[in-house]
Amino acid sequence: MSYDSSPSYPYRHAPQNAPSYDATYPWQPPTPPPEPARLRRPAQPALGHHSDLRILRSAHRWQRRTATLTALGYFTLFLILSAFAPSFMSSTVADGLPTGLLLALLQIPVTWLAIALYEHTARRYVDPIADRIRKQSELDAKREAAR
């Protein structure tokens, strides 16, 4: 068999100036050329990759654990004392007031203490980080709008 180079041959290689197809099928559109590289890099990394978000998550996690362990720790201590130290819980503190009742009534102030601790740690640790991230995201949004 010989190669027929006549124009009547049904399929020939594309001429040199024809667009090249990387697609599997010839009727598919050509793949777009890669986008040109940006000339200018942003001054700071994108907000989603910012280390302040990790700091904020860890501060909020510490805040939740501290407040939760304060309230639940006292309640667990009260339950353990009720189950394993009934003589201590039934002993009187003053004027016939049993220790168990006094410890039960102290759960309300301990819950308030946990709430106050939660608010204190929020104001001191979490809120400043959140404010800094909020301001940074507003600046990033203004920069993107200016482009």
pLDDT in tens, 39-82: 665 565 555 556 878 888 888 898 888 888 888 999 999 999 99
For tokens 């001429």, name the residue: 15
- For the chain, how long is the longest CA-to-CA vector? 119
26 near 32, Cβ under 8 Å? no
The span from the CA of 113 to the CA of 124, in Å, is 16
How far lies 113's CA from each of 69, 119, 126, 142, in Å? 11, 10, 18, 42
Confidence of residue 97 (pLDDT cuts 50, 70, 90): very high
Considering the entire predicted model, what is its pTM?
0.54
Rounded-to-integer distance, Cα 94 and Cα 15, Å? 105
Query: What φ, ψ does residue 68 adopt, rounded to 5°?
Result: -65, -45
Which residue in the block uniquely carries the two structure tokens 């501060």? 59
Both structure tokens of 72: 């639940």
Task: Tell me the two tokens of residue 53.
Answer: 């978000």
Separation between Cα atoms, residue 136 and residue 44, nearest integer Å: 10
Asked if 10 and 20 count as a contact pair (C-beta separation under 8 A), the reply is no
pLDDT score of 88: 93
Do 3 and 13 touch, CB atoms closer than 8 A?
A: no
